[in-house]
Structure 1
Amino acid sequence: MFKWAQQQLANVAGTQEPIYGPSAIKSVASEAETTPYTELTRDDAKWEVMESTCVETQTFYFMAENGQLAFAQVIYSNVAGIRTTCQFNCKIFNLDGSAPHLWSSTPLSNYDFSEDKTGFYADDCAVELSEDGTTYTIKSMNDEQAIVNLTVKRVAPGFKAGKTGKTLFGEDFANPWGSMRHLFWPRCTAEGTITTKDGPIDFAGKAFFSHALQGMKPHHAAAKWNFCDFQGPTYSAILMQFTTPPSYGSTVVNVGVIAKDGEIIMGGCNSDAKHLETKSDSENDWPEPTTIKYSWAGSTKDGKPVEASIKGGLEEKLDRIDVMAEVPGFVKKIVAGAAGTKPYIYQYSPQKTKMSLELKIGDQEITEEGFVFSEATFISD
């Protein structure tokens, strides 16, 4: 009976896939060999709103001049075309550990998109792109603990790796059964507030925007993630890395970009994230990183070689998120046993010793201290 129950739950949760091997994934890096990156147009800002299984997100990260760190996020998720849900998430980090982080996650009702699919609407929520394609406004009154009224304006071009930004999964890439895509606004300014029960918090400062689409079950696409968002006085550096499960050959896909006001310095798929030192998390056995190195390589538009890195200790983690925390314990064990998934997200932003971007453009060497927010996510072995 228990084995039958495990099997039924696995069917719902999504069992591990067969081993297709690396031939069943076409990394965006193959496009980046000839076209390292493409600057975004307003057309790229459209929500895909897939009718099959997917998770599509727009996430805005805020690094305020007053030292505050937060993000606001809209999630659109579709399970097998049967059930579609939308959620608005907001998190304000407490960086010194003196109080809990503020976390707000609200299901949205009556969601809709603008005619051109660049705007998202729901009851008491709107995320809109300006006509000139340079500014988003993010408003939510869904949770009185976190009333969001923010504006994000890009000050460097938007970016996608290769021509399409997409990694494809399947045995016929003309008709893939899955996809992964990231679009970035690597360097932005922000203004506005998030109002909590203690009053408004000003988020004037820097921001980063990511529009991500996982066009398949997320745990089938990726077993691990690394993410780095560096914002300095002059430069911004973004890195997103995922590693597929063994079903797709444990393939590593990197997307990275370095920008400054008005221009992308370099972008493409020659970036990397390395956990130089780790410690075992006693609760789940994941190797939590303690020292990391993020690196980027490429060239400027006029052909100058570019190399960059951020290296150092992550200090005490800001948070560890048990993605299945709201699932009862016994169900969690069954899901982990059946589907091989135990997703945890580790979040960091070193405060005692700020991290620096070491950047070399041609013969010019630059070191810039900045604000780093990073994540390491473990989903399955």
Structure 2
Amino acid sequence: MLKWVQSGLSAVAGTAEPEYGREAIHTITDSIVNGNGDVAVSRDTTIKDFNWLCLDYTNVETQTFYFTDLVNKYAGFAQIIHSNLMGVHTTAQFTFRLFHHDEDKAEDNIWTSTKLENFRTDGSNFYADKVSFELNDDNTTYTLKSHVTEEALVELTVTRLTPGVIFGKDGTTYYGDDVANPWGSMRHLFWPRCTVNGTVKTPTQTFEISGYTMFVMALQGMKPHHAAKAWNFMNFHSKTYSAVQMEFTTPISYANTKVNVGIISKDGEIVLATINNVVLHQDPKEDPGVGWHVPTAITFKYIKDKKEEVAKDDDVVVGSVSGPLTTLVERVDVMAEIPQLVKNIVSGVVGTKPYIYQYCNEFDIEVGQDKEKGLGFTEVTFISE
């Protein structure tokens, strides 16, 4: 029993890390700001950027479409997860969610999470039994087919409208004393505005999906609670604009360092790619029994100036997305499936208490003199104090 608990702790959470300090994290934003002008804020992605890396140590790679059907008011995401535990055990999962923005119908709220069998990667493509996920040769269209569960037969075609975006040279934040030999990493790259068309079939009905989506590939090359203690994520689509912002804050081990990247696109163009943005939690309320203070409204500010000292100066805010967090799609207790004894030890030893709060609400976007309403999907994640 003790060895089982120890292995569970190692696999799920590990132990608390020493305080390495700010010098032990080399953020993607550092490489841009301190690069003496030789590193651009962002560059266009290539087809090779989306190749699965399949690292041989603990890591999780994901490819995710966050889609919005503005006419029928459906939103959701389709995600492939490829993970490696300690270099000895590789798994893959397909997760899918569909929900209606303002109708509380159980049949319109679909959630599936299915373990995949006989999976393999092939460059940027992924295959498993009853699943295929393929990028076409001209790097413009992804096709996803998943018949892995009868609860949701998913067939979606995604075509990008703008160039892809990767921040800095490789979109990667490195953890460790030596940036050339890091012990952990975090990487993100995006297709910020795409069209999405297809169907989702359940045993009782068929949903026609037609709208916009944002596609993101992510790599978390270390244990999750060592990489970040909190996340803020927003994906917004309106008739004209798409916006994404992703922020994580490291644990005290890495000096509570914030890393934030954001993109605003309009029709077929990238309007902004920014690295010094601000997320404001507004009117937070305590989640009883959990203790996290969860916002009831949120604002994502896009800051053009790179200098930290002016990051909260409204004069350099070049865009914002804001709105209430009133429609809770899901409150996810990440450790719900972990045995209670392990959960208690993890919480007591490490201070880990991960919860994800997912919302879908009508938001406002402001860019210059433009103001438009759209639909925003937001995740506010708390992992550790």
TM (normalized to structure 1)?
0.92
Q: Helix, strand or coil for the counterpart of 1:204?
A: strand
Do structure 1's residue 259 and structure 2's residue 265 form an aligned pair?
A: yes
Q: How is 1:218-297 mapped onto 2 (pairs within 5 angstroms)?
A: 218-297=224-303
TM (normalized to structure 2)?
0.91
1:140-191 per-position Cα deviation (integer Å, ceiling 9, x unaligned): 1110001111011100111111121111100000111111011111100001
Kept in 1, the 8 Å contact 2:73–2:100? The answer is: no
Do structure 1's residue 66 and structure 2's residue 72 form an aligned pair?
A: yes
Match of 2:379 in 1: 375
Work out the CA distance in 1 between the residues paired with 2:249 and 2:58. Answer: 20
Match of 2:9 in 1: 10
Work out the CA distance in 1 between the residues paired with 2:130 and 2:7. Answer: 37
1:57-113 per-position Cα deviation (integer Å, ceiling 9, x unaligned): 001111113111121100011011011100000111243333273111111111112
Q: 1:171 aligns with which of 165, 177, 192?
A: 177
1:9-29 per-position Cα deviation (integer Å, ceiling 9, x unaligned): 533431121111111001100
Work out the CA distance in 2 between the residues paired with 1:94 and 1:325. Answer: 25
Matched residue pairs, number?
366
1:183-226 per-position Cα deviation (integer Å, ceiling 9, x unaligned): 11110000101111122211111111110001111111011000
Work out the CA distance in 2 between the residues paired with 1:145 and 1:11. Answer: 33
Q: How much identity, in percent, do the aligned residues show? A: 46
Instruction: Rate the CA distance shift 1:306–1:275 in 2: closer, same or farther, 3 A.
Output: closer
Q: Helix, strand or coil for the counterpart of 2:150?
A: coil
Alpha-carbon deviation of 1:8?
6.0
Q: Helix, strand or coil for the counterpart of 1:355?
A: strand
1:102-141 per-position Cα deviation (integer Å, ceiling 9, x unaligned): 1111111111122xx1100011101100110011001111
Q: How is 1:139-154 mapped onto 2 (pairs within 5 angstroms)?
A: 139-154=145-160
Instruction: Rate the CA distance shift 1:192–1:244 in 2: closer, same or farther, 3 A.
Output: same
Q: Mean Cα displacement is larger for which, 323-332 or 341-350?
A: 323-332
Q: Helix, strand or coil for the counterpart of 2:67?
A: strand
Work out the CA distance in 2 between the residues paired with 1:333 and 1:73. Answer: 30
Match of 2:312 in 1: none
How large is the Cα RMSD of the aligned pairs? 1.8
Kept in 1, the 8 Å contact 2:190–2:217? The answer is: yes
Kept in 1, the 8 Å contact 2:278–2:303? The answer is: no
Work out the CA distance in 1 between the residues paired with 2:213 and 2:154. Answer: 15
Q: How is 1:17-96 mapped onto 2 (pairs within 5 angstroms)?
A: 17-33=17-33, 34=37, 35-64=40-69, 65-95=71-101, 96=103
Match of 1:342 in 2: 353
Kept in 1, the 8 Å contact 2:127–2:133? The answer is: yes
Kept in 2, the 8 Å contact 1:9–1:338? The answer is: no
Q: Helix, strand or coil for the counterpart of 1:332?
A: helix
Work out the CA distance in 2 between the residues paired with 1:276 and 1:56. Answer: 32
Instruction: Rate the CA distance shift 1:106–1:6 in 2: closer, same or farther, 3 A.
Output: closer
Q: Helix, strand or coil for the counterpart of 1:318?
A: strand
Specify the code of the residue in structure 2 equivalent to 1:110. Answer: N
Work out the CA distance in 2 between the residues paired with 1:17 and 1:137. Answer: 41
Match of 2:104 in 1: 97
Long gaps (5+) in structure 2: 306-315
Match of 1:198 in 2: 204
Q: 1:317 aligns with which of 307, 321, 328?
A: 328
Alpha-carbon deviation of 1:316?
3.5
Specify the code of the residue in structure 1 equivalent to 2:253. Answer: S
Kept in 1, the 8 Å contact 2:78–2:96? The answer is: yes
Specify the code of the residue in structure 2 equivalent to 1:236. Answer: S
Long gaps (5+) in structure 1: 300-304
Q: Mean Cα displacement is larger for which, 324-333 or 67-76?
A: 324-333
Q: Helix, strand or coil for the counterpart of 1:143?
A: coil
Specify the code of the residue in structure 1 equivalent to 2:372. Answer: E
Match of 1:333 in 2: 344
Kept in 1, the 8 Å contact 2:5–2:342? The answer is: no
Q: 1:132 aligns with which of 128, 134, 138?
A: 138
